[in-house]
Structure 1
């Protein structure tokens, strides 16, 4: 499979009070944990999707920087922008948020393994924890691009209409799995 790893790092971090993707955990910025998980999980083509305000602050030689042409448009737009830029070289885009410092390479390998073994073509592989969809940890095929573009043209920002409009393979994980724990507020460190 040809896969681009995309770290979603264009949010406002309004609940955290400052750009949380640059907070440190075990000596690495949050976003670097996502890059590391991709690399160790077998994905070498990695980009950070962000905005022009944050772009200068990323310092990582292991990932390219994709500067979205419109900032703070949400994850659906970030996926559209990434697919648009990656579609010529890779069929798939694997998303990870920049605020999940506990994400692991074994999670990446598990999702890729399911995608490689799928018996029919799916447009997306989306994790589910308990009963909660985790679309920001999903893999999306480039055939989703025209569907996403139409949704954006209709002012949609959520990932959920996309999930309802494409062929999705759900991957079930424990509701307590730390790979999905995102840090939205400073007090989240004490969970």
Structure 2
């Protein structure tokens, strides 16, 4: 494994309004979306935790052996930052590797490449890919050191991930650092799968 402790955090709490039904449980080639993220993580991290919404907590608990939680009550419904905060409060680790539930093309190689930069730059607080000119904050790594800043941002209702990157020691990785750019393709509507 790694020379540091890393936990995978699967975010499966979005409302999926544009998609029309919960994306996490939607099946592609007979497998629910969230399962692709689990498979990308399971051989690369020490543990996996799933953060979801009320409607999905029971179905996910029935389908997976991993711990499934709602956002911490204090910040429930405040988006990805609340999910990261909840994972950091619940499971003690040095690093938290985030994945969303709507990237069914994600593969283990992307996680390994992300982890190789964490290994190389241990003093960074966040490791964020930039693909097609856009930050990918939900396919990224966050060090435990960023927890006080995350909590401060949540308390101040500063929920944009970009504000966090400005406040902590962030390493941005351009797309040349990754072999599989399709892995970053997220599905917002059913038309995105065509």
TM superposition score normalised by structure 2: 0.90
Tell me what 2:84 maps to. Answer: 79
| Counterpart contact for 2:57–2:68, Cα < 8 Å | yes
Deviation of 1:106 after TM superposition, in Å, equals: 0.2
Give unpaired runs (5+ residues) of structure 1: none
* Separation in structure 2 between the aligned mates of residue 106 and residue 19 of structure 1, nearest angstrom: 26
Q: Larger deviation: 165-174 or 147-156?
A: 165-174
Deviation of 1:62 after TM superposition, in Å, equals: 4.1
| Counterpart contact for 1:128–1:172, Cα < 8 Å | yes
| Counterpart contact for 2:130–2:136, Cα < 8 Å | yes
SS at match of 2:55: coil
* Separation in structure 2 between the aligned mates of residue 126 and residue 109 of structure 1, nearest angstrom: 14
Deviation of 1:184 after TM superposition, in Å, equals: 0.6
TM superposition score normalised by structure 1: 0.91
Q: Which runs of 4+ in 1 moved over 3 A?
A: 59-62
Give unpaired runs (5+ residues) of structure 2: none
Deviation of 1:133 after TM superposition, in Å, equals: 0.7
RMSD: 1.7
SS at match of 2:42: helix
